[in-house]
Amino acid sequence: MTTSLANHKPTLGPAVNHQRLLIVDDDPLILELLGIFLASFGYEFEAAGNGHEALQKIDANEFAIVITDMIMPKMDGMQLLQRIKEKHANIGVIVVTGHTGTFSYTDVIKAGASDFISKPFNSDELEAKINRIFREQKIIRELEYLSTRDPLTDLYNRRSFDEKIKEEAYRADRQGYPLFLALLDVDLFKDYNDTYGHQDGDDLLRCVGSLLRQNLRENVDSAFRFGGDEFAVILPQTELNEAQRAATRLHDNFVQHCPCRGTTSFSIGLARFIRRPDQPRENDLKDLISRADKALYRAKAAGRDRIVIDE
């Protein structure tokens, strides 16, 4: 008995990030006070006694917000802020200082801080600033997510493909492992749409999106809606026989799990990335996409419903 993926609705939206904070101050009493405040707000946090220790913790862990004193020995808050923004631009930074004459609000905001708070401060003010930064980070994550996704299938979009294939080709070239690209097309999709209606056509494309997500290696392979009824799958660290098995699994599961009604099928073109040292990498990428596309065309010309591998 097969299970249909046709009515599977993708869950839109990025995973919620852990709301974890790092507090930095060379005064143990201030660290203790900040810790009491954050614990009362319900947030997880770690503490660092100086800028160098803070950077070590930031490199080793994930933090959404850093709350730092400005006047500290060896590395002051402004230097720490600049170092954070160089390597971890998405981290929000709240600068806390009792020396408002040394650094102005404008100075720290221009340097990349999310907000500024003067000593003495109360818990309500601190909580309000933290909550505002979290809201802004959530909105930014959602906008970034939507800009990279196809809203119908919840797969990555063509813009994301163009960026990802460059990254994977560079990594494959540098680390010396094989990289394959599969282009997939729903055969006779226009006829399917004309016969059963656009709503059923959309359901079929959503099913393909679910099929790709469930049949590829998590955090290794990447699936994209390439355009219309065409899809792309990037298969890093994959030998030819493994790429063939992945393509076959997708081909067979399409017929078994998606509402194709016997009128549509899957054609797949498969090609391996070839790096030619005398050519720019961009040319090799164009060549890879062209060869995968020609293999897909040959699959359709040979009668559809098959996999063709570029030689």
Q: How many CB atoms within 10 Å of residue 106?
A: 9
3-state secondary structure of 255: helix
Structure tokens at 234: 């990037």
DSSP string, the chain: -----TTPPP--SPPPPP-EEEEE-S-HHHHHHHHHHHHHHT-EEEEESSHHHHHHHHHHS--SEEEEES--SSS-HHHHHHHHHHH-TTSEEEEEES-TTTS-HHHHHHTT-SEEEESS--HHHHHHHHHHHHHHHHHHHHHHHHHHB-TTT-SB-HHHHHHHHHHHHHHHHHHT--EEEEEEEETTHHHHHHHH-HHHHHHHHHHHHHHHHHSS-TTT-EEEEEETTEEEEEEES--HHHHHHHHHHHHHHHHHHS--TTT--EEEEEEE----TTS-HHHHHHHHHHHHHHHHHHHHHTTSSSEEE--
| Distance (Å, whole) CA 282 – CA 264 | 34
Known catalytic residue at 229? yes
The one catalytic residue among 115, 150, 154, 229: 229
Show which residues are catalytic.
229
